[in-house]
Structure 1
């Protein structure tokens, strides 16, 4: 088949799938934003970056932005069709950015698949989950309905969709859920594995090693959606109880989900101000975003890895932490419960129970007698259901090839 992947940040979720399909003899190409700097494992063509739209806050803002990107992607595809006589048999794009919205008009006969990451919902998910940060309101729920328009349109137009977890697939209404198959992107468990010789350098030159008392937290951005505020508020008690513990946080200071605080430039600044005088900052290390090998080494030296999240998209960092054999303390929220079972392959605590979080983190750092069993079970969970080469990639390839004419 001629297969066209479409994603503004390609390769993204298609990092392993695109080259695997190329290796099987398919003609694989990707369409991405002209400013995307990521290296690609297959041939790339680019569409123009959408301009900054001067939109006032309104219910149609999200759809306008996504439709603009979708039109520019469609124009790029039209050029492929008209100037280069290119017609794919199958298009596979991420529906979250609007890029697939108008591709049916360019190639009406191509199969169209979408990566359906999550459907925004007004109840039971992130909206109103954390009243401290974003209180539930009619306005918040109405805005959520409006933000879902392009996601619904994208899946309605598609022949089928793919979701990485059951929780994320089940966020879609039943009439659309029927179009979805659940296959995780997959974790390379050969690369992501325990390493007793791992070392992680701190900015001051010290090195943390496997076996040290290290507490880790990883998120794309340090923000409430990933429980940053709950984690930070646990640190004063954790550091008092464990005087030799070192805390390492990886993540940017911007916002990936939600919004910025009203009284500070970012959530890190806000929480440090709130906890001023309560933290020994010589033992709390903010690393920003780090290269992947350094991130992997951090997981390998971690004694306790904390993963907290609203009911929302599940982070790759949790599955990679489990594959690395981490002792995981996670939030007892639905996306985490799909992988972590309390007392079986990790520890779960209620998202808003500050004392329970502190106790769980201290217990792990002090040397939980069940740690080795939980860590082995965490890795086994990934090996048995999320392993890239044994499970995810073969299933993904079969799924895509099932749409061959």
Structure 2
């Protein structure tokens, strides 16, 4: 078959799928933005991101997504007209509007969408954190307006895929039957326990699996992923565990939710809040790590804290479980789908700062008792999220029309 994969940050969720499809003899081509510099496992076509529309009001977000979709559709129409390219399958991520009008270009193709998350005015991330109150009507209008293109992407597709059952459940009930639940997959052959692992800090000191290491990982440090709660739990942890070392991975930009006020970063704001109660020689902000270093850090972690609003589940939590880390997760819907408290990890209420301190202290003080949880965590990933044995074969079947 001829297969076109579309993602503004390609390869994104198609990292393993694209080369696997090519290895099966399909002609696989990717379409992405012209500024995307990520290495690609397959040939890449590019489109230029349009200028923001001159539009204001509640429809701004949809206008931006629709303009991008129209730009992509025009580029694809030229591809068909000038090169005669007609794919059998068009598979895109629905999050940025890229797929909205492609059925108009290739009506004979099978259209698939990656349905990652559908914003809700209630019951998910919106309004979850009382620390950031907003007018409920204005918030609801903004949320509903923000999801319009996601609904259109799903309606226009022949089938869709979501990485977790909870993320699939956020979409309207009448459309869920077209969504398959298939995770992108975790490379358990690479992400496995290593008692001999070492992680080197920027100052040259080395951490080992025998050390009291607490880890916290996110693309960017912000409230959506519980950075504020984690930082507030640290003073007690450092006071009661004088050998503990805290390693915090993540940038200081914005990934989700609103930007920090007054030109600051969320990292700055919550570090300043607790700075005078922290031994900063034991709190290490290491920025965004190359992947091999991230793996090594997870392998030496004695306690890995993962917090999230009811939102998209991070790969990093599952990757930590795959290497056998003890994950202490927030008792929120996407985490509860994977972690069972006291069986393959620990769960703490998202806002329970004392609870987070206690859970981290217990994990640091008694690593032997956590060993069954660590082993069960890895088994969970092997049984449900293994890339090559479970997820990738299912995703290939989905694209080829057998699932």
**What band does the TM-score fall into relative to the shorter chain?**
over 0.9
TM-aligned CA deviation for residue 203 of structure 1? 1.2
SS at match of 1:107: coil
* 2:291 match: 292
Q: 2 CA distance for matches of 1:98 and 1:241? A: 50
TM-score by length of 1: 0.97
- Following superposition, the deviation at residue 51 of structure 1 comes to 2.3
- What are the ranges of 5 or more consecutive residues in structure 1 without an aligned counterpart? none
CA–CA separation in structure 2 for the residues paired with 1:398 and 1:87: 21
Say yes or no: does 1:354 pair with 2:363: no
Question: Per-residue CA shift, 1:148-182, capped at 9, x if unaligned?
Answer: 10000010010010000000000001111111000
Does the 8 Å contact 2:53/2:67 carry over to 1? no
SS of structure 2 residue aligned to 1:330: strand
TM-score (normalizing by structure 2): 0.98
Compute the displacement of 1:30 (Å): 0.6
Query: Equivalent residue for 1:142?
Result: 141
Partner SS state of residue 277, structure 1 = helix
Q: How does 1:368-383 map to 2 (within 5 A)?
A: 368-383=367-382
The alpha carbon displacement at 1:368 in A equals 4.2
Is 1:182 matched up with 2:181? yes
Q: 1:135 to 1:365 in 2, by over 3 A?
A: farther
1:143, CA displacement in angstroms? 0.7
Question: What is the rounded CA distance, in whole Å, between the counterparts of 1:48 and 1:255 in structure 2?
Answer: 23
2:49 maps to 49
Q: Alpha-carbon deviation of 1:354?
A: 1.0
Deviation digits for residues 204-223 of structure 1 (CA, Å, limit 9, x no counterpart) = 11111121110000001100
In structure 1, the partner of 2:384 is 385
Could you tell me how far 1:263 is from its partner in structure 2?
4.4
* Aligned residues of 2:93 and 2:115 also touching (Cα < 8 A): yes
Alignment of 1:216 with 2:229, yes or no, is no
Give the 5 Å matches for 1:71-150: 71-135=70-134, 137-150=136-149
Q: Which residue of 2 aligns with 1:160?
A: 159
* Displacement after TM superposition at 1:365 (Å): 1.0
- Whether 2:245 is the aligned partner of 1:246: answer yes
SS at match of 1:123: coil
Aligned to 2:30: 30
In structure 2, the residue matched to 1:15 is: 15
After superposition, the C-alpha distances for 1:335-362 in whole angstroms (9 at most, x for unaligned) are 0000000000000000111111110011
CA RMSD of superposed structures (Å): 1.3
Mapped to 1, the partners of 2:360 and 2:402 lie a distance apart of: 47
For 1:249 and 1:206, the matched residues in 2 are separated by 16
Deviations 1:1-55 (A, max 9, x none): 1100000011100111111111111111110101101111111111112224555
Residue 5, structure 1, aligned to residue 5, structure 2 = yes
Q: How much has 1:264 moved relative to structure 2?
A: 5.4
Does structure 2 conserve the Cα–Cα contact (< 8 Å) formed by 1:264 and 1:270?
A: no
Larger mean CA deviation between 178-187 and 262-271 belongs to 262-271
1:261 corresponds to 2:257 = no
| Deviations 1:232-282, CA, capped at 9 Å, x for gaps | 000000000111111001111011000123245111110122113111111
SS of the counterpart of 1:376? helix
Residue 119 to residue 289, structure 1, CA distance change in 2 (3 Å):
same
Matches of 1:110 and 1:155, distance apart in 2: 15
Inter-partner Cα distance in structure 2 for 1:309 and 1:34? 32
